[in-house]
Each structure stands twice: as structure tokens, then as C-alpha cells.
């Protein structure tokens, strides 16, 4: 009866890994990820050649790199999705410690590539942004702390997770990277709420976040410049937001045509942060709506499957991963249409970027592992175990 209600897939004795994985994985979510990557390659063919020409490279240099990094990301996603939640948790702890040390070393060994924020390690042939890999590991580690705090005699998980969040946000602000900081705080707030935090406490924390934003505006020229540009009633047509806004307006419903867009020749970040402007100009509202639909399917299906999950750690980690994935996409597109201030955040699986693609594959792989169908056990057995 339990399996009929909760949709769990019974495990077969001696079942091989691949058949069991295929039977229990969320194929809709996985298919949407492959479609997003395909859309990213399509847009990369349009947005990357102008940048390659400016840098004196082969016209499809960046597309070839995107195919390579995307292939690695898909492989990482598939391998991680085959893991159990316990295995994901163990590897996430190791990854979290490594990325935390990397953030500590950024002020000394990092570079800003002329963008005013030290977020990358440059190795000549490639660069790595540690904060991209930090996000999925952070979510899983905090979910572990919060779920452990719910066990009788468990540690103060909520307090520990709050301390970890403050440490991570402090390291990100030093770069400065307020966009990733906001994502981290949001993911923690979602998990904290699901774990049973009182709404008044969350409102108080939200107030603290507002006060922190005011302080950042007063002390950081980088942050203040972006907020002022967002609040200005006039858009300078020579800025990235100006070019992106004009491209979206020109695209209309069906777009100006494949390869006919002009924004890619003006925007230095057309292949990364503003890739949605290229989509809107050349393919119009039709393609943009399709992209939004894909992200919506991924997030909604993941949350619906997690609603059937009875293990607190799996439920918390999956919800945090799904929300941070969806909100990053919302922020990227919100910046392009000027609903949000500029954040310097990529569109998952669509924007160009090795760190973004591989970290995205890691995050979605963890999400797929958490949302795999598995026997849930009788509810009475679970209540009895907690009551001991």
C-alpha cells in the first residue's frame, strides 16, 4: 500500500547498477538538462564567433570548448546521479572543505580578469571559479547538519548551519561576490524553513540581510555602482544592460532571424551573463519561453518527487539543490530584463563557462541522486525509530 501511495520503486535482489539507476532516475529532469545544454550550444554558435574574432581565435574556439566542458559536465552528472544519498553526503563534505580552503586562498592567488572581483584561479589554459563548486557542497553539508539536529540527542544543527553560512558569505563578500552570497543565503533559508524554523525568526534574518545590503552599498563602490545603475530611470544605451534591453525589444515574438542579431557584436559577455539577450533577439519570445519552461519542469518535478521522500536529509538537500538551481536561472534572466541589478551570474547549462558547466553537472547529479525513486518503508516504522 505504501508503494502505491508514494510511488516508490521496489528494489530487486542482486539488481545491476545501471538497470536500477535507469528505472529509478527522473528521466524528465535529465532530458530537460540535455535540452538546455543543446540550446546553449545553439546560442553559442551565434554568440561566440564575435568574441573569438576580437581575440584573434578560430571562429568556433569557444563553441569547441563548451562542447568539451559540457561533455565533462554530463559525465559528472550521470556518475553522481548513480550514488546513494549517503555517498553524495560523504563526497560533499570533502568537496566543501576543499572549496572552503580555495576561497581562503583567493585573495592571495586569485585574479579578477579586469572585472573588479577576485573570483577565479587562472591556470593559463583554463580558469576555475571555486564559488560555483561551493554551492552544491554547501547545500548538502547544511542539509546534513539540519537533519542531524532533528534526531533525538543530535547536535545543534540549526546553529551549526547558521555559523557555516555566515563563514561562507563572509568569504564571498571579500571577493566581492554578492550574487553568490545571496544564493547561499537563499538556499540555507529554504532548508531552514523546511526543517521547521519559525517564520518570525526567518523575518528577522531577512531584516538582517537588508541591513547588510545597506552596509554593502555604503562601503563597496562595486556594489553601489551596480545598484545605482539598476535604480536609474534612464538606461545608458552603451552599457551591457542597455545593449541587452535593446536586443530583447528588437527580438519581438519570433526574433530577427538566426545569425541576424547584433547584440553579440556589442556585448563582451553575450556568451555568458547575457546569453538570454542573444536568444531573445535572434529567436524571440518563443525560445525564451521554451528555456523558462525547461527550468520550471526541472524544479517543479524535483520538488514534487521530494514531497514523497521521508528521509529528512534527502528531502532537505534535494529541496536546497532544486531551489538554488532555479533561482540562479531566475537571477540571470531577471538581470537581462532589468528586474534585478547586475549580478555577474551565468545561466545554468546555457551560458559558456567551464566552471559553470561542470559545477552545474555536479549540482544536478546530486539532485537526481536525491530524487531517485526508492522504497520509503512503513511510516509506523519511521515514527517508532524516532521515538526510541
129-145 residue pLDDT tens: 888 999 999 999 999 99
Give 142-187 pLDDT, tens digit per residue.
Answer: 999 999 988 888 888 888 999 999 999 989 888 878 888 889 999 9
The C-alpha cell that represents 236 in the structure block: 545608458
For 298-352, what is each residue's pLDDT tens digit?
A: 999 999 999 988 899 999 999 999 999 999 999 989 888 878 877 778 899 999 8
Per-residue pLDDT, 182 = 86
Q: What is the average pLDDT score of the chain?
A: 83
Please check whether residue 177 is in contact with residue 199, taking contact to mean a CB–CB distance below 8 angstroms.
no
Q: What is the pLDDT of residues 196-207, one digit of tens each?
A: 877 777 787 778
Q: How many CB atoms lie within 10 A of CB 35?
A: 16
pLDDT at 149: 87
CA nearest neighbour of 309 among 256, 217, 382, 386? 382
Give the residue among 134, 195, 132, 131 at the shortest CA–CA distance from 161. 195
Rounded Cα distance between 212 and 226, Å, is 16
Residue 194, classified by CB atoms within 10 Å of its CB into exposed (0-12), middle (13-18) or buried (19+), is middle
pLDDT digits (tens, 9 = 90+) for 230-268: 666 666 556 677 777 777 888 788 888 777 777 777 777
Cα 142 from Cα 104, distance rounded (Å) = 19
Question: How far, in Å, CA of 133 to CA of 100, rounded?
Answer: 10
pLDDT higher for 123 or 306?
306
C-alpha torsion sign, points 309, 315, 318, 319: positive
The reported pLDDT for the residue numbered 6 is 44
- Record the pTM: 0.86
Q: Where are the alpha helices (DSSP H) in the chain?
A: 2-6, 17-24, 27-54, 61-81, 85-109, 130-149, 157-173, 178-194, 199-219, 221-231, 240-251, 275-306, 312-336, 354-371, 379-387
Top-confidence residue, 178 or 41 = 41
Please state, in angstroms and as integers, the Cα–Cα distance from residue 365 to each residue in 17, 33, 188, following that order: 16, 10, 19
> What's phi and psi for 274, nearest 5 deg?
-115, 30
Buried b (16+ CB within 10 A) or exposed e, 108-130: eebeeeeeebbbbbeeeeebbbb
Cα dihedral 329, 324, 83, 1 sign: negative
Q: Are 66 and 110 in contact (CB under 8 A)?
A: no
pLDDT for res 184 = 92
DSSP-assigned beta bridge partners for residue 121: 128
* DSSP SS3 for 165: helix
Query: Rounded to an integer, what distance in angstroms lies between the CA atom of residue 356 and that of residue 131?
Result: 10
**Is residue 291 scored above 60 in pLDDT?**
yes
* Predicted pLDDT of residue 235: 66
Q: What confidence score (pLDDT) does residue 273 get?
A: 81
Q: Is the pLDDT score of 95 beyond 90?
A: yes
Question: Which comes out higher in pLDDT, residue 367 or 153?
Answer: 367
Amino acid at each position: 500500500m505504501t508503494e502505491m501511495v508514494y510511488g516508490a520503486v521496489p528494489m530487486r535482489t542482486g539488481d545491476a547498477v545501471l538497470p536500477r539507476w535507469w528505472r529509478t532516475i527522473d528521466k524528465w529532469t535529465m532530458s530537460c538538462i540535455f535540452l538546455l545544454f543543446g540550446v546553449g550550444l545553439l546560442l553559442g554558435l551565434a554568440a561566440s564567433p564575435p568574441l573569438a574574432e576580437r581575440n584573434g581565435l578560430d571562429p568556433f574556439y569557444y563553441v569547441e570548448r563548451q562542447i568539451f566542458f559540457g561533455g565533462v559536465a554530463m559525465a559528472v552528472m550521470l556518475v553522481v546521479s548513480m550514488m546513494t544519498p549517503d555517498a553524495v553526503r560523504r563526497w560533499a563534505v570533502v568537496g566543501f572543505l576543499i572549496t572552503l580552503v580555495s576561497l581562503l586562498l583567493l585573495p592571495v592567488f586569485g585574479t579578477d580578469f579586469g572585472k573588479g572581483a577576485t573570483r577565479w584561479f587562472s591556470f593559463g589554459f583554463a580558469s576555475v571559479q571555486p564559488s560555483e563548486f561551493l554551492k552544491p557542497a554547501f547545500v548538502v553539508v547544511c542539509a546534513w547538519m539540519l537533519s542531524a539536529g532533528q534526531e533525538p540527542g543530535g547536535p545543534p544543527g540549526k546553529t551549526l548551519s547558521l555559523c557555516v553560512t555566515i563563514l561562507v558569505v563572509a568569504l564571498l563578500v571579500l571577493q566581492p561576490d554578492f550574487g553568490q552570497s545571496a544564493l547561499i543565503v537563499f538556499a540555507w533559508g529554504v532548508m531552514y524553513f523546511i526543517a521547521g524554523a519559525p517564520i518570525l525568526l526567518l523575518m528577522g534574518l531577512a531584516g538582517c540581510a537588508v541591513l547588510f545590503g545597506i552596509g554593502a552599498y555604503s562601503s563597496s563602490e562595486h556594489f553601489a555602482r551596480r545598484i545605482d545603475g539598476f535604480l536609474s530611470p534612464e538606461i545608458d544605451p552603451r552599457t551591457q544592460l542597455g545593449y541587452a534591453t535593446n536586443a530583447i525589444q528588437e527580438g519581438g515574438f519570433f526574433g530577427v532571424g538566426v545569425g541576424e542579431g547584433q547584440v553579440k557584436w556589442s556585448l563582451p559577455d553575450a556568451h555568458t551573463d547575457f546569453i538570454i539577450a542573444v536568444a531573445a533577439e535572434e529567436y524571440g519570445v518563443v525560445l525564451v519561453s521554451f528555456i523558462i519552461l525547461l527550468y520550471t519542469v526541472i524544479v517543479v518535478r524535483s520538488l514534487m518527487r521530494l514531497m514523497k521522500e521521508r528521509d529528512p536529509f534527502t528531502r532537505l538537500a534535494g529541496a536546497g539543490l532544486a531551489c538554488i538551481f532555479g533561482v540562479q536561472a531566475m537571477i540571470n534572466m531577471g538581470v537581462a530584463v532589468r528586474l534585478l541589478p547586475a549580478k555577474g551570474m551565468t545561466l545554468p547549462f546555457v551560458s559558456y563557462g567551464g566552471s559553470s558547466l561542470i559545477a552545474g553537472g555536479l549540482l544536478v547529479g546530486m539532485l537526481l541522486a536525491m530524487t531517485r525513486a526508492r522504497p520509503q518503508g512503513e511510516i509506523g516504522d519511521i515514527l517508532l525509530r524516532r521515538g526510541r
